[in-house]
């Protein structure tokens, strides 16, 4: 996989979609998608991310599957960065399972490089060689098909499946990594951790209770729900300010790439 020019033929992009305008403004505008250089599948009406993503695994044949949010923009040359990252990883770990673009490494440090419109800031920055991780952000997940991993369809909704797939890889004796793959996440501010997020958090708490605590990029999974309750209160209290300061998610992500030199 060291030939960056050949990687497009090894990829298939999968997205769960519930807003055609957001899809059209972001993921569908990504050069890799818009040019037709890679196959892609969009699944609508799924009850969970896991349901949509497993359909993507079943209905594609590519050796590497990229699961991306509909509000993600992959800049020009993104696939070449992925090829370089895979080549670096495969020197020591040819049987890698998962790669993400943001996560928490084995030392507990947050690593990644993404522009978040919901936060109205660049999160992280260049960090060099890929690092092994204990969780990844869901906005981009890269899966090596031959790992045999699938998403847990018991996990409800559209949250924490990035942490779950990493933990499933680790439980199977495989490894997950964060790679320096800059992207635009043209998201909106998170309003609450109640509802669907809380349902997913409690499911994960039960599923992985034997190895808690587990770091995530949002609320750590712990034996007590106190971190979740504190985070729910913090989001409620800060939402008006965060909403006022957020970048308009309708902005053309190509313009953001130019402004940010991603």
Model confidence band, residue 260 (pLDDT cutoffs 50, 70, 90): confident
Note the pLDDT of residue 190.
Answer: 94
Three-class secondary structure of residue 103 per DSSP: strand
Name the phi and psi angles at 131, rounded to 5: -125, 145
Three-class secondary structure of residue 191 per DSSP: coil
CA distance 72 to 136: 15
Per-residue pLDDT at 2 exceeds 70: no
| pLDDT tens per residue, range 21-32 | 999 999 999 999
Q: What would the two tokens of residue 154 be?
A: 């018991």
Alpha helix stretches (DSSP H) within the chain? 20-25, 31-34, 49-58, 78-92, 161-171, 196-207, 226-245, 253-260
Model confidence band, residue 4 (pLDDT cutoffs 50, 70, 90): very low
Three-class secondary structure of residue 11 per DSSP: strand
Q: What is the dihedral of CA 154, 44, 56, 85, to 10 degrees?
A: -100
What's the number of CA atoms in the CB half-sphere (13 Å) around residue 132?
Answer: 11
Note the pLDDT of residue 261.
Answer: 79
Note the pLDDT of residue 133.
Answer: 98
Q: What would the two tokens of residue 198 be?
A: 């809380």
Burial 6-15 (b: 16+ CB within 10 A, else e): ebbebbbbbb
Stronger pLDDT, 258 or 225, i.e. the higher one: 225
Q: What would the two tokens of residue 161 be?
A: 């499946």
CA distance 21 to 35: 19
Report, at the CATH architecture level, how domain 4-260 is classified: Alpha-Beta Complex (3.90)
Note the pLDDT of residue 3.
Answer: 52
Angle at 76 between CA 71 and CA 82, to 5 degrees: 85
Q: What would the two tokens of residue 206 be?
A: 């039960």
| pLDDT tens per residue, range 80-97 | 999 999 999 999 999 999
Q: What are the sequence ranges of the domains in the chain? A: 4-260
Per-residue pLDDT at 198 exceeds 80: yes
CA distance 191 to 40: 30
Note the pLDDT of residue 1.
Answer: 43
Average pLDDT of the chain to the nearest whole number: 95
The whole model's pTM is what?
Answer: 0.94
Note the pLDDT of residue 150.
Answer: 98
**Measuring CA to CA, which residue among 129, 138, 132, 134 is closest to residue 84?**
129
Q: What would the two tokens of residue 160 be?
A: 């924490």
């Amino acid at each position: 996989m060291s030939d960056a020019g050949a990687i497009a033929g090894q990829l298939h992009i999968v997205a769960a979609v519930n807003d055609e305008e957001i899809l059209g403004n972001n993921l569908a505008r990504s050069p890799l998608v818009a040019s037709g250089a890679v196959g892609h599948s969009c699944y609508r009406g799924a009850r969970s991310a896991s349901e949509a993503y497993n359909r993507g695994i079943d209905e594609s044949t590519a050796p590497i599957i990229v699961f991306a949010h509909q509000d993600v923009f992959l800049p020009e040359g993104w696939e070449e960065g992925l090829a370089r990252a895979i080549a670096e990883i495969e020197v020591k770990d040819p049987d890698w399972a998962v790669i993400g673009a943001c996560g928490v490494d084995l030392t507990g440090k947050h690593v990644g490089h993404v522009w978040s419109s919901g936060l109205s800031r660049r999160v992280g920055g260049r960090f060099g060689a890929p690092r092994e991780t204990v969780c990844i952000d869901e906005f981009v997940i890269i899966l090596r098909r031959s790992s045999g991993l699938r998403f847990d369809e018991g996990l409800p909704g559209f949250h924490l499946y990035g942490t779950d797939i990493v933990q499933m890889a680790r439980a199977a004796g495989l490894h997950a990594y964060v790679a320096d793959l800059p992207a635009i996440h043209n998201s909106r501010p998170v309003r609450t951790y109640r509802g669907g997020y809380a349902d997913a958090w409690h499911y994960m708490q039960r599923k992985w209770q034997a190895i808690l605590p587990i770091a995530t990029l949002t609320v750590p999974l712990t034996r007590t729900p106190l971190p979740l309750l504190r985070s729910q209160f913090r989001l409620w209290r800060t939402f008006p300010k965060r909403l006022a300061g957020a970048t308009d998610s309708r902005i053309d992500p190509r313009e953001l790439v130019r402004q940010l030199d991603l």
